[in-house]
Chains A and B, each alone.
Chain A
């Protein structure tokens, strides 16, 4: 069975602090894909990153970075020097090799305090 766990329900940080959002997944597939989406107050899910199970290289995009570790089944997301505009709910998601179904975690609500 596919499952994604985001244990942090809510996080508050002060602007310019770094913050890491945790994501742990379960799957029996050897080929799978992991995603992070951002859901701002407007409600629309915004795609951030896709990573396949064969690529464990960490990725950095501006202030965002992702740490994928198959050994611990984790795909954590770090925001460096957080900004108020980063306030949103962040979802981690898992799909199998077909990509036909996404399994989402329950989300982490991030509040960045000015």
Chain B
């Protein structure tokens, strides 16, 4: 079946602008995760959803970052007033069930560049 998809694959924006990054999880997966990967680093957890609710948003760096998953499937990561330090690859992952450490399957990522 189809894997996790993310759009756009690349996003270039100017400092101070607002951006939205989209994630389509694997069909039937109830848990969805967002990570940020800076150059030369491993992915860092941002937020995870179980269904429609954000079960853990402890990884969001500040209140400029927000994510939603209104229907329990597609999720959007929103970044307000972007800063150059937000430049990174934003990865989305999904798993069939949260908890019980089900394996997370990752999308190809969105490369965000803030000029």
Would B109 and A102 count as touching, CB distance under 8 A?
no
User: By CB atoms of chain A within 10 A, which of B33, B89, B106, B108 has the most?
Assistant: B106
Which residues in window 88-114 of B have CB below 8 A to A?
89, 91, 93, 95, 98-109, 111
Chain A residues in 8 Å Cβ range of B93: 45
Would A101 and B106 count as touching, CB distance under 8 A?
no
- A45-B48 contact, Cβ under 8 Å, with A95-B101, A102-B104: no
CB distance from B32 to the nearest CB of A (A): 11
Would B101 and A106 count as touching, CB distance under 8 A?
no
User: How many residues in B have their beta carbons less than 8 Å from beta carbons of A?
Assistant: 30
- A104-B109 contact, Cβ under 8 Å, with A43-B89, A50-B101, A98-B99: no
Q: What 5 A-B pairs are tightest by C-beta distance, nearest first?
A: A104-B42, A99-B101, A45-B106, A33-B101, A44-B108
Seen from chain A, the residues whose Cβ lies within 8 Å of a Cβ on chain B are 4, 33, 35, 37, 42-47, 50, 52, 91, 93, 95, 97-107
